[in-house]
Structure 1
């Protein structure tokens, strides 16, 4: 009887350990692992703002998740946390994982500066939709936010990553860096587990993978990549004005280059899911123009028309790029 009790205890311990492994996202070498297997991010950047507004709103969530499922999207990248368990639950029920982003100074709303981001982590760290936490978004383009010294940001980033891991052993911590991190970024941020990179190298990001291989053995993914559907000028055979074909061609080339390099790159969060009419003018209408830092590599005109980046229009009409995403994401098993 005593042996039976011991064996039963061992069995329960093994089962508990297995369950813990299944709900824990881990970094293993260059891989992000979920349930013990490498996880390839077939992702989308998602910031749904209705026509006429400048505020994020999830009223279209059910329709959006259905479209994401159709396109084979398995990961949503959010630029700021969503404090609504019903939204998280619905995303989980759709079989999609979340990368939750935290800003540096958001007036105390789950931000890094106040330390309140840890409150969010502790509140939602056991939620099954969470893939990993992400600190900042291409802040290296804005030294003016940190007294002109990027070391101030990287030290804050590293401290925040350490604090996140002290409070949550279930998820890695990432950052979204503009382009390839330099030696200062890497030296001052050893607590970062995964490096996201916002990369706009025309329609081929391929060179960044070998560059990353030389400087780090950690996982990386493209936290932003893509093209818009508006040509400011006629170029490379693409007509001026709205041009879905230019966006679709760029999207195809970017995704093919990314998926050729999965030994180094853990996937991509394509920018973006839906056109964002609030960025360049009157939010009641779609306006060309806008501005983004380090954007000369935007295909195929070098101009980021900020309201035309969705693979869907604001009314959820599919653009040509949607079908490209669907083909490429569903083709990657």
Structure 2
């Protein structure tokens, strides 16, 4: 009995150490690639802001389990959220499904994990070891709004660059990105060296491919399309598409967009398509789906140049698949990179 214990106790100690060792999930950048645990990672994603019917803009994860099943069917491996996910159980469920998250931080959110108060770093430190985290994102299309920064966009780039430096200091295992409105200009690139991956919200009709060559000329860093896509409502009849709700227009647009995304995977690291579900809270009565809405620099929205904000989902608000769902499913599941 004593002889057995000599061997059993050290073995138990080793097992306890192994069980209590935190498994690290390291995300790095290498040249133009994002690496997860040293393996190239291509983002096959959607923007995700699930707001129930009738809600003014209160995100809810009550449909998360159902949503994850649809995401897995569609080959989605990443979601991009516009505000931090506070609920650990939500991150846990996403991680269990092998879906990673781009966590967005706003500039001024009344002190709620925002940049102006500095409280965003508390969230970073809280969740920097969580398997679900892919990237930390600073801002969304702020380059379109210098009026938010005393009329000088340089104030934003400085704040963004300083915030990225603070993240690097606290979390060396996850890169920092931003969602820039289209291609960053020389000022943005010069003032923001701490941005590791450039996300770009690109609405160039159904042909975003031109941005890859433009990016290749100005930077050697990784990039991805943080927003792209089309809506399922035609304000006017155009290019053979009838006016009114038109799922075929959306499906055709997304098919062409995704072809160009994956044809340029030597430069870009994928896309978070806009968006997973329709948002009834955006344009009018929150209890029904309204045409209309507005977004900055939106003339490039296929195929009517009008962003009908409540019609962007690849599923509707009841989680019924739109025609574009199968297009996304085919593109994501058939992509080998």
Structure 1 length-normalised TM: 0.94
What CA distance in whole angstroms lies between the structure 2 residues aligned with 1:263 and 1:330?
A: 18
Q: Which runs of 4+ in 1 moved over 2 A?
A: 19-22
**What is the number of residues matched between the two proteins?**
317
Q: Is the 8 A contact 1:22 1:36 kept in 2?
A: no
Confirm or deny that 1:49 pairs with 2:51: yes
1:152 aligns with: 155
C-alpha deviation, 1:37, in angstroms = 1.4
Q: Tell me, what secondary structure is at the counterpart of 1:221?
A: strand
After TM superposition, the structure 1 = structure 2 runs for residues 49-88 of structure 1, keeping only pairs within 5 Å, are: 49-54=51-56, 55-88=58-91
What CA distance in whole angstroms lies between the structure 1 residues aligned with 2:334 and 2:256?
A: 15
Residues 116-164 of structure 1: per-residue CA shift (max 9 Å, x gap): 0000000000000000100000000111100110000000000000001
Q: 1:288 aligns with which of 287, 291, 295?
A: 291
1:178 aligns with: 181
Confirm or deny that 1:94 pairs with 2:97: yes
1:253 aligns with: 256
What CA distance in whole angstroms lies between the structure 2 residues aligned with 1:330 and 1:101?
A: 26
After superposition, the CA RMSD in angstroms is 1.3
What CA distance in whole angstroms lies between the structure 2 residues aligned with 1:36 and 1:190?
A: 23
Q: Tell me, what secondary structure is at the counterpart of 1:255?
A: helix
After TM superposition, the structure 1 = structure 2 runs for residues 1-333 of structure 1, keeping only pairs within 5 Å, are: 23-54=25-56, 55-333=58-336
1:3 aligns with: none
Q: Tell me, what secondary structure is at the counterpart of 2:72?
A: helix
Q: Tell me, what secondary structure is at the counterpart of 1:307?
A: helix
Q: Tell me, what secondary structure is at the counterpart of 1:101?
A: strand
C-alpha deviation, 1:293, in angstroms = 0.1
What CA distance in whole angstroms lies between the structure 2 residues aligned with 1:87 and 1:37?
A: 25
Residues 67-90 of structure 1: per-residue CA shift (max 9 Å, x gap): 000000000000100111000000
What CA distance in whole angstroms lies between the structure 2 residues aligned with 1:73 and 1:86?
A: 20
Residues 230-276 of structure 1: per-residue CA shift (max 9 Å, x gap): 00000000000000000000000000000000010000000000000
Structure 2 length-normalised TM: 0.93
Structure 2: 5+ residue stretches without partners: 1-13
C-alpha deviation, 1:21, in angstroms = 9.8
Larger displacement relative to structure 2 (216-225 or 32-41) = 32-41
